[in-house]
C-alpha cells in the first residue's frame, strides 16, 4: 500500500470515528434529563411508616404445662408474662410497614395508597430533609386504593399535578419512592399501556409502565418529563414479590377526584348502572351478527336499578358510554364509576342486531353487594342428547335463594362430551336464555333447541355461582 492510499484510508477512518462520535453525542442529548425532575419533586415526596397493633394468642409449647407456682411469688409474674395464664390469653404485637406519598397542598394534605395506611394505628411521615410528622387519615377508599392523610405543617413543598389523559404509550416517566425502605429512590421507564383493567380492581383504568417499582414504592408519584405528577404508583405484577417489568399506577385525575370527595364528605360516591357485564368473544359476536367482537354484553339487569329504569335488557351489548367506544367490557366500570351521580348519560346499544341509543340517569353505587348461592334441586332430568346435556326444572326454594324470577330457567344436572361441554356449560349452571328467548323450563329449552334450525352458533345465558354469564353454543348436525 503506497503512502497516498494510506493517507486516504487514514482520513476516511478518522472521518468515520468523528461521525460516530457526533452521532453518540446527539443521541445522548436526545435522552431525557432526569436530574432536574428529581431535584424539583423529591422535597414533596415523603416516606410513610405505619404501625399496626394486632392480637396474638400466647400459649405454652406443645407438651408443656404451666408449673404450680405459689401466687404472689417472684416467679408467678415471670411465668404469666411469658406464657399467660391459659390458652385464651392474647398479647399485643406491633407490625410495621413502609410506603410513599406526596404533598398536594402547602398546609399538609398528602396523597398515598389505601393499602399503605388503611389498617394503621399510627402513621409517621418523613421528608427528605429529615423532618418527621405524625399524620392522621382524612379519608380512604379501598375501591380505588386511594387515601388522603394530613400533617400539621405549613408552607410545605408540593408537586405539580398533570393530566394522565395526555400521556402517550412509549413516553418517558419517572417514579420516586421508598422501595424496601430506601427512601427517595428515583427510577425511570416508559408508559407501556393505558387503561389497563386488573382482576382485583373494577374502577381504576391503570397506567402500565416498565418503571422499576418494588414494595415501599406504593403511594409514590409517577412523573412525566414536564415534572407533573400523572399517577400514583400502586401495584406490580410479580411471581417473586419483586419487580418483573410490569408496574401499574392510578391516574392522577381519578386520585384527585377521590381525594376531593374524601376531604369534603369523608366518603366516595361512584356512578352505578346496575348491570352485570362480560366480554363479547368471537363466537358470541357471530351469534349477535357483529362483524368483530367489542363492547360490554349485559348478562343481568338489577331490579329497580338505573339500567332497569332506562329499559336495558339482558343480551344488550353496550357499544359506547357517553360517546366513548368500548373495545371490551373492562372499560365500562371506570367510565361509569367516575361519572357524576344523578346526571344523564347516553348509551349506544346493540339489540336484536340493530343499534339503539338510550338515555340513562347514573345512580350511586350501593355499599353492599348482592350475594347468592346455588342450592341442589331434585327432579327428573330431561336429556338433550344432541348437545350432551341433561336439564331439570328448578325447585322454588332454589329460585328464591338465587333471586330468580318466579318462573323460568333450567338447571343443568349432567354434561357429557358434546357441544354443551365445548361451550363451557357445567353441571349446576342454570340456563336462563337461549338465542335471545327466556327459558321457561327444561321442556321449553328442548323446544328452543329444536327450533334453532340451521343456526350454527347461538348465545346462551347461564347463571353460575352468584353471577350470570353468556356462552356461545355451536350447534352440530
Number of Cβ within 10 Å of residue 281's Cβ equals: 14
User: DSSP readout, 411-472?
Assistant: EEEEE-TTHHHHHT--TT-EEEEETTEE--SHHHHHHHHHHTTT--EEEEEEEETTEEEEEE
**pLDDT for residue 467:** 78
Rounded-to-integer distance, Cα 283 and Cα 289, Å: 10
How far is the first Cα of the chain from the last one, in angstroms, to the nearest whole number? 83
From 141, 145, 183, 316, the catalytic residue = 145
Could you tell me if 178 and 220 are in contact, meaning their C-beta atoms sit under 8 angstroms apart? Answer: yes
From 115, 197, 238, 279, the catalytic residue = 115
Beta strands 296-301; 354-361: pairing state: unpaired
Q: Distance of CA 438 to CAs 58, 122, 219, 289, 457, Å?
A: 58, 55, 48, 19, 17
Among 345, 352, 363, which Cα is nearest to 314's?
Answer: 352
For this structure, is 126 an active site residue? Answer: no
Would the pLDDT of 342 be above 60?
yes
- Which CATH code, of 3.75.10.10, 2.40.10.10, 3.40.50.720, 3.40.50.1110, is assigned to 160-265? 2.40.10.10
Would the pLDDT of 377 be above 90?
no
Cα-trace Rg, the chain:
31
Rounded-to-integer distance, Cα 228 and Cα 249, Å: 14
**pLDDT for residue 13:** 60
Indicate the pLDDT class of residue 408, thresholds 50, 70 and 90.
confident
For this structure, is 115 an active site residue? Answer: yes
155-164, 189-198, 244-253, 396-405: range with lowest mean pLDDT: 396-405
Could you tell me if 92 and 55 are in contact, meaning their C-beta atoms sit under 8 angstroms apart? Answer: yes
Among 320, 323, 316, 329, which Cα is nearest to 281's?
Answer: 329
**pLDDT for residue 370:** 34
> Tens digit of pLDDT for each residue in 54-105?
655 555 444 444 444 455 555 455 445 444 554 445 555 565 778 999 999 9
Could you tell me if 177 and 219 are in contact, meaning their C-beta atoms sit under 8 angstroms apart? Answer: yes
- Domain positions in the chain: 42-62+77-151, 160-265, 271-364, 382-474
- Which CATH code, of 2.40.10.10, 3.40.50.410, 2.40.70.10, 3.40.190.290, is assigned to 42-62+77-151? 2.40.10.10
**pLDDT for residue 72:** 52
> Tens digit of pLDDT for each residue in 241-269?
778 889 999 999 999 999 999 999 888 88
Could you tell me if 302 and 274 are in contact, meaning their C-beta atoms sit under 8 angstroms apart? Answer: yes
Indicate the pLDDT class of residue 18, thresholds 50, 70 and 90.
low
The three-state DSSP-derived secondary structure of 60-119 is CCCCCCCCCCCCCCHHHHHHHHHHCCCCCCEEEEEEEEEEEEEECCCCCEEEECHHHHCC
Could you tell me if 419 and 365 are in contact, meaning their C-beta atoms sit under 8 angstroms apart? Answer: no
pTM score above 0.85: no
**pLDDT for residue 192:** 96
For this structure, is 145 an active site residue? Answer: yes
User: DSSP readout, 296-337?
Assistant: EEEEEE-TTSHHHHHT--TT-EEEEETTEE-SSGGGHHHHHH
Rounded-to-integer distance, Cα 299 and Cα 275, Å: 7
3-state class (DSSP) for residue 122: strand
Among 387, 296, 409, 402, which Cα is nearest to 349's?
Answer: 296
Q: Distance of CA 176 to CAs 12, 108, 188, Å?
A: 47, 19, 9
Q: In Å, how far from its chain's centre is CA 91?
A: 36
From 100, 140, 178, 218, the catalytic residue = 218
382-474 has which fold? Pdz3 Domain (2.30.42)
The CATH number given to 271-364 is: 2.30.42.10
Q: Same topology for domains 42-62+77-151 and 160-265, yes or no?
A: yes
Ranked by mean pLDDT, the top range of 341-355, 390-404, 434-448 is 341-355
Amino acid at each position: 500500500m503506497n503512502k497516498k492510499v494510506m493517507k486516504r484510508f487514514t482520513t476516511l477512518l478518522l472521518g468515520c470515528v468523528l461521525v460516530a462520535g457526533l452521532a453518540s453525542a446527539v443521541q445522548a442529548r436526545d435522552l431525557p434529563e432526569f436530574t432536574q425532575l428529581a431535584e424539583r419533586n423529591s422535597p414533596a415526596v415523603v416516606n410513610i411508616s405505619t404501625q399496626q397493633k394486632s392480637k396474638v394468642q400466647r400459649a405454652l409449647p406443645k407438651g408443656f404445662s404451666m408449673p404450680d407456682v405459689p401466687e404472689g411469688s417472684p416467679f408467678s409474674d415471670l411465668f404469666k408474662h411469658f406464657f399467660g395464664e391459659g390458652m385464651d390469653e392474647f398479647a399485643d404485637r406491633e407490625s410495621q410497614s413502609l410506603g410513599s406519598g406526596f404533598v398536594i397542598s402547602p398546609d399538609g394534605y398528602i396523597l398515598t395508597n389505601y393499602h399503605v395506611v388503611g389498617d394503621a394505628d399510627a402513621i409517621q411521615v418523613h421528608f427528605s430533609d429529615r423532618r418527621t410528622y405524625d399524620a392522621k387519615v382524612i379519608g380512604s377508599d379501598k375501591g380505588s386504593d386511594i387515601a388522603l392523610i394530613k400533617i400539621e405543617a405549613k408552607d410545605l413543598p408540593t408537586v405539580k399535578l398533570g393530566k394522565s389523559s395526555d400521556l402517550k404509550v412509549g413516553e418517558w416517566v419517572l417514579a420516586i419512592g421508598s422501595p424496601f425502605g430506601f427512601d427517595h429512590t428515583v427510577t425511570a421507564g416508559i408508559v407501556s399501556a393505558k387503561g389497563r383493567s386488573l382482576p382485583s380492581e373494577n374502577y381504576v383504568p391503570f397506567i402500565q409502565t416498565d418503571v422499576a417499582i418494588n414494595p415501599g414504592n406504593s403511594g409514590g408519584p409517577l412523573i412525566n418529563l414536564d415534572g407533573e405528577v400523572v399517577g400514583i404508583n400502586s401495584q406490580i405484577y410479580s411471581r417473586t414479590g419483586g419487580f418483573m417489568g410490569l408496574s401499574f399506577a392510578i391516574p392522577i385525575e381519578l386520585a384527585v377526584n377521590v381525594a376531593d370527595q374524601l376531604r369534603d364528605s369523608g366518603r366516595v360516591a361512584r356512578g352505578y348502572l346496575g348491570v352485570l357485564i362480560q366480554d363479547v368473544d368471537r363466537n358470541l359476536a357471530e351469534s349477535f351478527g357483529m362483524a368483530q367482537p367489542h363492547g360490554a354484553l349485559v348478562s343481568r339487569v338489577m331490579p329497580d336499578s338505573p339500567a332497569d329504569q332506562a329499559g336495558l335488557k339482558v343480551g344488550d351489548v353496550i357499544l359506547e358510554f357517553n360517546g366513548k367506544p368500548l373495545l371490551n367490557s373492562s372499560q365500562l366500570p371506570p367510565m361509569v364509576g367516575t361519572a357524576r351521580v344523578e346526571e344523564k348519560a347516553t348509551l349506544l346499544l346493540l339489540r336484536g342486531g340493530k343499534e339503539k341509543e338510550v338515555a340513562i340517569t347514573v345512580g350511586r353505587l350501593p355499599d353492599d353487594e348482592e350475594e347468592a348461592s346455588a342450592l341442589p334441586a331434585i327432579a327428573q332430568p330431561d336429556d338433550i342428547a344432541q348437545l350432551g346435556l341433561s336439564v331439570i326444572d328448578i325447585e322454588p326454594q332454589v329460585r328464591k335463594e338465587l333471586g330468580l324470577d318466579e318462573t323460568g330457567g333450567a338447571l343443568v344436572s349432567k354434561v357429557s362430551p358434546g357441544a354443551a361441554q365445548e361451550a363451557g356449560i357445567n353441571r349446576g349452571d342454570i340456563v336462563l336464555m337461549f338465542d335471545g328467548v327466556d327459558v321457561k323450563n327444561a321442556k321449553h329449552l328442548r323446544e328452543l333447541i329444536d327450533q334453532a334450525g340451521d343456526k350454527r352458533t347461538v348465545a346462551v345465558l347461564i347463571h353460575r355461582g352468584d353471577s350470570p354469564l353468556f356462552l356461545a353454543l355451536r350447534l352440530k348436525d
